[in-house]
A and B are shown apart, each in its own frame.
Chain A
């Protein structure tokens, strides 16, 4: 059994379990699945700076911080005890394209040639961590939600603005992955 769990899970299993988070949170306490809100709560809690956008009762939303802390712990458990003994299987075509860009490490979930501490103070680190993270935080807040709040919770509740947001997420991602990343990789080489 444990050997089976250690294998990468099929998208159907993953999708069902991610989807079940929606009713789990609703049934546990009428909570709406939406992770980017936790970033706003952290701002409201730590650096509200008298900004009206962060003046609300964040204490009522502390549950979300417990939730994301759990995600972090879950990531640790999965990596420590349930790690896939094999190399990651990546689509040939994507691997070839990324290799051309200069990515050399295809063994783990993330390429170690980008996501390592020794890149922190380089242009590579600045783009992939600092700029990338900033765009994720700014964009999700401006959009009023992320993949969880809009694409999963919003679509589950048949909200058309969430469909618009999801299409914008995908459009941004397509542009970024196919046109922007090639330029970025050239820049950092």
Chain B
């Protein structure tokens, strides 16, 4: 099945999440209390590596392994990025997790985070329900 490769990348990524302590509630508190460089180092390095990768892919017009073109879309600005961003930030410091780490936290033995995940799905659903009123990104 063609999706198995994404499962494999996900497994690798989940291990990195735990071992680099990115899923740690404590590391998130340190980040927002400015008492440790760790999370800034992780995110900053990831951005630099991602930037170089995207630059090289564009520059040399690199295709996927199966020969498909790699495409990029521009993000459009809307107020959701500010209001939604602030709301997510508040939740990030409370839960100690963005959506990715939620899955890794559950896997690494903090089973109760499944409730946080279900609530995040509910939050996403409510956002979709009211999206015609508040107007978030709607691709």
Expressed in whole angstroms, the Cα–Cα distance for A159 and B66 within the complex equals: 27
DSSP majority for the B interface? helix
Chain A nearest CB, measured from B102 CB (Å) = 7
Contacts A110-B24, A119-B112 given: A74-B88 contact, CB under 8 Å?
no
Expressed in whole angstroms, the Cα–Cα distance for A94 and B100 within the complex equals: 24
Asked whether, in the complex, the Cβ of A47 is within 8 Å of the Cβ of B90, the reply is no
Tally A-B pairs: CB < 8 A.
520
Chain B nearest CB, measured from A69 CB (Å) = 6
Asked whether, in the complex, the Cβ of B36 is within 8 Å of the Cβ of A88, the reply is no
Asked whether, in the complex, the Cβ of B49 is within 8 Å of the Cβ of A68, the reply is no
**Residue of chain A at shortest CB distance from B14:** A74
User: B: which residues have CB within 8 A of A?
Assistant: 2-26, 28-33, 35-39, 41-51, 53-54, 57, 62, 64-66, 68-72, 74-78, 80-100, 102-113, 115-129, 131-132, 134, 136-138
User: A: which residues have CB within 8 A of B?
Assistant: 5, 8-31, 33, 35-36, 38-40, 42-43, 47, 49, 51-54, 62-64, 66-79, 82, 88, 90-94, 97-98, 106, 109-111, 114-117, 119-120, 125, 127-148, 150-162, 164-178, 180-181, 184
Complex partner residue of B81 from A12, A77, A165, CB under 8 angstroms? A165
Asked whether, in the complex, the Cβ of B6 is within 8 Å of the Cβ of A111, the reply is no
Contacts A134-B91, A139-B85 given: A14-B22 contact, CB under 8 Å?
yes
